[in-house]
Copies of this chain bind each other. A is one copy, B any other.
Amino acid sequence: MRPVVVTGPPRAPLETVDALAHYGAATVHEAMGRAGYLGTDIRPVQTGAKTGGTAVTALCRPGDNLMIHAAVEQCAPGDMLVVATTSPCSDGLFGELLATSLMARGVRGLVTATGVRDVADLRELGFPVWSAAVSAQGTVKATAGAVNVPIVVGGQVIRPGDAIVADDDGVVRVPRADVASVCEGARVRAGKEEAARAAFRGGELGLDRYGLRATLERLGVEYVPYEDHAEEAR
């Protein structure tokens, strides 16, 4: 890893990112063809937050948050800070003071493959965080890393300027070049879901709405009364 702070990366257009955030992580994930999800281990430390922004990335050494400080300066309004370490690390690399600093710069939230701390303060500040752990264990500021290089969080490559969408379901990353098409896909999908929601409230079944009875038949799924099945079963 070359120790470098990359400056001025192009960013996905913020109005489109905001529209993506409105649809939420699950819908955006669908609109991308079920891709881009950072997995079940990156969890919100608060309840009910739903946001999005453009990624600024920081790659730290385990137990060291020096490069987060370097990354703060590269952040602009509308950004989300995304952090990874070169080795797994659950220490609390981020807390309330860094959140205060990021809020002063208009940053929307944090996504990190590490732990965070001061979570009661973070909730009170209203600065949303998605992390792999909560840990009171602090860090040093002593070893070099990188800012705004591609990093991997939850098996997904995140590049500076990519769109990040995060809510209670977790975090999804949309490549910068795809935000417009994914946004349109999410809009179409949300419309369909709205119609399905009304139908389901009225008692229609997914089996009928999605034509799944034919699928079941094609796959050879039989309907058997309980008594008959119990008899056959061992």
The 7 A-B pairs at the shortest CB distance, nearest first, are namely A144-B219, A69-B206, A101-B200, A136-B169, A25-B136, A3-B221, A120-B168
In the docked arrangement, what's the CA distance between A82 and B40, Å? 21
Judging by beta carbons under 8 Å apart, are A37 and B216 in contact?
A: no
Give the shortest distance, in Å, between A215 (CB) and chain B (any CB).
Answer: 6
Binding site for B on A (CB under 8 A): 1-10, 24-26, 29-30, 33-35, 37, 39-40, 43, 47-48, 50, 61-63, 66, 69-70, 72-73, 86-92, 95-98, 100-101, 104-105, 115, 117-120, 123, 133-138, 140-146, 148-150, 152, 155-157, 160, 167-172, 175-178, 193, 196-197, 200-207, 210, 212, 215-216, 219-227, 229, 234
Give the shortest distance, in Å, between A52 (CB) and chain B (any CB).
Answer: 13
In the docked arrangement, what's the CA distance between A206 and B67, Å? 11
Judging by beta carbons under 8 Å apart, are B216 and A70 in contact?
A: yes
In the docked arrangement, what's the CA distance between A38 and B201, Å? 31
Q: Which residues of B contact A175 (CB under 8 A)?
A: 234
Judging by beta carbons under 8 Å apart, are B224 and A6 in contact?
A: yes
Judging by beta carbons under 8 Å apart, are A40 and B4 in contact?
A: no
Q: Which residues of B contact A89 (CB under 8 A)?
A: 62, 87
User: When A120-B168, A155-B155, A200-B104 are in contact, do A1 and B70 touch as well, CB less than 8 Å?
Assistant: no
